[in-house]
Chain A
Amino acid sequence: MRVFRIAVLSVAGALLAACGTSGGTASTSPPATRLSGSIAVFAAASLTDVFNALGSAFQAVNPGVTVKFNYAGTPTLVTQIEQGAPADVLASADTTNMDRLKADGFTTGTPQVFAHNKLEIVVAPGNPKAINSLADLAKPGVIYVTEAPTVPAGKYSLQALKAAGVTVTPKSLETDVKSAVSKVELGEADASIVYTTDVKAAGSKVQGVPIADAYNVVATYPMVAVKASTSVTVGSAFIAYVLSPVGQAKLQAFGFLPAS
């Protein structure tokens, strides 16, 4: 009986192992001239709109290539990669999380800065609560939500508030910048601090209130190839594309500041 059980378990184990090896994406050796294969780009939530556009453009130039995106708060992405998620490229919204992934040995090559971004206060259209500065966020009756301090946008927001000497208790710590924007869009929150690009992307559903340069924080976006990637060539090509004049122009069209 026991022998039988062990036999069953080993059969199960073998099958599981087989599933593991055959499930991975193919194309370890793509042809040198024409790119082909599929890559998974793990990108910070604030990059959602521009990376969707960059992905389509990259696929149009390289017909054999499929780019899939996984958007989330940067620390979520780093955790996913460290737990073995099949990522080929990581685009982070700060250097801290990128450094963490690099220090833990999950990256290949040097992370390259491809964009910068600035912060803005996001409010409802028409600014009904008359929020005109960081200090106004602390006014009574203002429902302020922010991102968790591990999320780059949340960390930058704290830095900006600290620089301005403003103390404000948030009602919620959202897991990424897009969900903070959506809380304002839905009217549940009166204000949040997000990237200028997020305000632009949300269009007429929200309104931006500039933050004075003295307090504003410039976010740095680096991207890197992931060590476990099975399509390093395509991944590197995508990074090069984002850094190219075409890619940079697209980023600026979405409101990002240039890499250099």
Chain B
Amino acid sequence: MRRERVPIVVTALAAIGAAFFILPLIGLLVRSPWGDALAALTAPETVEALKLSLIASLSATAVALILGVPLAWVYARVEFPGRDLLRALTTLPMVLPPVVGGIALLLAFGRRGLLGAWLYSIFGITFPFTTTGVVMAETFVAMPFLILSVEAGLRSMDRRYEEAARALGANRWRVFTRVTLPLIAPSLFAGAVLCWARALGEFGATITFAGNFPGVTQTMPLAVYLLLETNQEASFILSLVLLLVSLVVLVALRDRWLGSA
């Protein structure tokens, strides 16, 4: 194949574009105090934030799977008026500023929120300042990634396998678990990983809706933000950990993103 001549302007702009992303990463790598990395990573407040982040982001992914897969199935398989509008509403957090999401969550699930006031007065349940609140904030922001990925998987799969299984006498649940799920497994996996990574990095909705307290609601991104003011070296190292996780996620999903799908 003949190599295409790349116009110099395109090359220059592309190089600037690439540098814009790469320089901040290099900045983190260069400025991180590698000698103190272990001390920073094993400091009690770091371990606490790491643990909370893992628990909250995995819980958010679990909730997203339980609620998001049925939603995706409905979007892909059921025709009903207003479907596109509903899909837009449930994937809005992908483009919504997370802080706005946090405020919206407060107005719905806060102590004086639409549903929250009712839950509080009858059951005494509150979500702000709790780990449950963190999981809710993370689910709100991250679940759309799972929904869209699973819906795309459901739409692109060959439905004749399902029809064959039905014809052979399998009930709908059996068809879903034995035929549909394995067929959409790559989309499901990619969606879950993306959702988890987004949940892990969540900041704005979490600090707005759930607040900030070590061990309860202070996740890694919140700890990074506050450490920048007290212990910059530790905040650089924690940023690097989050960066590494994101990179691993990207590499793991390389085929899905760069592939033909």
Contact = CB atoms under 8 A, between A and B. Distances in A.
A244 interface: no
A79 B213 contact: no
A170 interface: yes
A188 B128 contact: yes
A187 B212 contact: no
Given A15-B12, A172-B213, A188-B110, A143 B229 contact: no
Contact of A150 (B110, B129, B214, B226): B226
Given A11-B15, A15-B16, A145-B129, 9 more contacts: A75-B229, A171-B216, A172-B128, A172-B217, A174-B212, A187-B111, A187-B112, A188-B110, A188-B126
Contact of B129 (A8, A11, A171, A187): A171
B110 A175 contact: no
Interface residues of B, number: 26
Contacts of A171: 128-129, 211, 213, 216
Give the size category of A's interface with B.
Answer: 20 to 34
B195 interface: no
Interface of A: 8-9, 11-13, 15-16, 73, 75-76, 78-79, 143, 145, 148, 150, 170-175, 183, 186-189
B15 A8 contact: yes
Nearest to B14: A8
A12 B12 contact: yes
23 contacts: A8-B15, A9-B15, A12-B15, A12-B16, A12-B19, A16-B16, A16-B19, A78-B229, A79-B228, A143-B129, A148-B212, A150-B226, A170-B213, A171-B211, A171-B213, A172-B211, A172-B212, A174-B212, A175-B226, A183-B128, A183-B211, A188-B111, A188-B128
A11 B110 contact: no
Interface in B154-206: none
A11 B207 CA distance: 41
Contact of B112 (A145, A173, A186): A186
A148 B111 CA distance: 23
Contacts of B214: 173
B227 to A, nearest CB: 10
Interface string B53-86: 0000000000000000000000000000000000
Nearest to B112: A187
Contacts of A79: 228-229, 232
Contacts of B12: 8, 11-12, 15
A173 B218 CA distance: 9
A152 to B, nearest CB: 12
